[in-house]
Amino acid sequence: MTALTDRFGRVHNYLRISVTDRCNLRCLYCMPEEGVAFADASTLLSYDQIVEVVEAGAELGITRLRITGGEPLVRPGLPELIGRLSAISAIEDIALTTNGMLLAPHAEALKAAGLTRVNISLDTLDASRFRLIARRGELKRVLEGVEAAAAAGLTPIKLNCVLLKGINEDEIAAFLRLAYEQPLHVRFIEYMPIGHADDNWKKHYLPLARVHEIAAEQGYKTEPGEAISGNGPSENWRLVGGVGSFGLIHPVSDQFCSQCNRLRLTADGYIKPCLYWVDELDVRPALGDRASMLELYSRAMDLKPESHEMAAKLADGAQSHIPTSRRMSQIGG
């Protein structure tokens, strides 16, 4: 088995798979309120094709998967795909990122199919603010999804909170209290300029140093925490005396590209070496030809840049590559 190693010595064992670009929410940091032009269903990779791409990756060292969207649970039959992926002998871990709206009725089936754990997007603990950020849906359903995931054993449960200056930064203390009181792992995420590096992004961007400031103001003692099961770049912390933890994912203020171990497969069939840049490789010409599929992974390694340049974008600096015009929902977060 040949390791997927790029030009900078980074070994890749992690593939994020988007199964749809559609979503039942319209979160303001992900897509405009009117939505985007969704891909026609006929252009999405079938489950057979996704399995084929993963089987080739597994030959090259892919052992960890994450299923994303859009909202992955809007695609029918997702437990079927999970079951087929978990049957690939090299695959050790399959996680799901979801907004939680449809999770409660599917949690048990997903666990039975082989899903390991879930990340649930939760940007606010206030029902009215939920409608402001997500523009539709109900907070209650997300919280029911959290409970169902815990009951099904889809743990550890990570809550993904995108911090937005002037919108939900006043809830940092409430999320820290949640992590102190419950066995949950809150991950604060910086707002990224994916597909829309505009003035609105800059207006709402908040560096995560603010989280430690709030923790100190609230009287918490913090200490570095152990890595929580997963594949991500979170900087993990414990609140001394608490039962959960919190993490910081700061791609803009303190980018972690030197440790990147991931590739992305979009719902419409492109391998993206880097979330931020435009470069992507169409897998469809390689379908049905294992040698060509393996070569496609090798080309992705050659294309992968040393880093994204989101910090430069924040400072209106020059960019060395062309940023993607795709929204996060069209790539797979």
State the Cα–Cα distance between residues 71 and 26, nearest whole angstrom.
Answer: 11
Does this model's pTM top 0.85? My answer is yes
The whole domain housing 61 covers 4-159+257-331
Please answer whether residues 69 and 18 qualify as being in contact, where contact means their C-beta atoms are separated by less than 8 angstroms. Answer: yes
**Number of domains observed in the structure of the chain:** 1
Report the C-alpha gap between 299 and 282 in whole angstroms. Answer: 11
Residue 92: what pLDDT? 97
* Domain CATH for 75: 3.20.20.70
CB 122 within 8 A of CB 163: no
312 belongs to a structural domain: yes
pLDDT in tens, the chain (333 residues): 468 999 999 999 999 999 999 999 998 888 777 777 788 889 999 999 999 999 999 999 999 999 999 999 999 999 999 999 999 999 999 999 999 999 999 999 999 999 999 999 999 999 999 999 999 999 999 999 999 999 999 999 999 999 999 999 999 999 999 999 999 999 999 887 766 656 677 788 888 999 999 999 999 999 998 776 665 678 899 999 999 999 999 777 666 677 889 999 999 999 999 877 778 999 999 999 999 999 999 999 999 988 765 555 555 565 667 776 676 667 776
pLDDT value for 278: 77
CA angle 205, 211, 213 (to 5 degrees): 115
Query: Is 319 a domain residue?
Result: yes
* 313-322 per-residue burial string, b: 16 or more CB within 10 A, e: under 16: bbeeeeeeee
Helix, coil or strand: residue 237: strand
Alpha-carbon gap, residue 280 to 282, rounded angstroms: 7
Is 207 inside a domain boundary?
no
> Is residue 186 included in any domain, yes or no?
no
For residue 86, the model assigns a pLDDT of 98
Does 77 map to a domain? yes
What are 108's two structure tokens? 């048990």
Q: How many CB atoms lie within 10 A of CB 200?
A: 13
The pLDDT value given to residue 196: 60
What pLDDT sits at residue 319? 61
